[in-house]
């Protein structure tokens, strides 16, 4: 029995040498969204000085997301470094958010 060969599926499973950076950049942009969001919320907590942050996230969250996306897209460093930075940043900022939130309870 012969298996069907689907060229697009094979291209996804065995990518060519030049498309790795593009895929890592797209993944870095996707990881930049929660990273920038959490950094923006943490910045709002720190700027407000407590849990009553009011309208501060209206400024800090979009700014944090924009800066994270710009870092993920602009090739100052390699694509793998940008992706790993965004993933570690998202995890670390979520952890910092939980620590800051619990400190003001």
Residue 28 within a domain:
no
pLDDT given for residue 78 in this prediction = 86
Tokens of 18: 């030049």
Residue 78 within a domain:
yes
Contact 36, 65 (CB under 8 A): yes
Residue 26 within a domain:
no
pLDDT band, residue 1 (cuts 50/70/90): very low
Q: Exposed, middle or buried, 82 (CB in 10 Å: 0-12/13-18/19+)?
A: buried
Question: What is the total count of domains within the chain?
Answer: 1
Helices (H), 4-78: 7-13, 20-48, 57-73
Residue 60 within a domain:
yes
What are 60-63's contacts with CB under 8 Å, separation 24+? 61/36, 61/37
pLDDT in tens, 57-93: 889 999 999 999 999 999 888 888 888 998 898 888 7
pLDDT in tens, 13-60: 454 555 578 888 888 999 999 889 888 888 888 888 877 788 888 899
Residue 33 within a domain:
no
Residue 50 within a domain:
yes
Helix (H) or strand (E) holding 85: helix 79-103
Instruction: Write out the residue range of the structural domain in which residue 54 sits.
Output: 41-105
Residue 79 within a domain:
yes
């Amino acid at each position: 029995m012969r298996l069907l060969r689907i060229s697009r599926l094979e291209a996804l499973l065995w990518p060519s040498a030049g498309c790795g950076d593009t895929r890592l950049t797209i993944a870095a942009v996707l990881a930049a969204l929660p990273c920038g969001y959490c950094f923006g919320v943490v910045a709002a907590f720190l700027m407000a000085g407590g849990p009553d942050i009011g309208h501060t996230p209206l400024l800090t969250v979009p700014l944090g997301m924009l800066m994270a996306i710009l870092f993920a897209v602009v090739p100052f460093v390699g694509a793998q470094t940008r992706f790993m930075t965004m993933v570690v940043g998202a995890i670390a900022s979520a952890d910092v958010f939980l620590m800051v939130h619990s400190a003001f309870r």
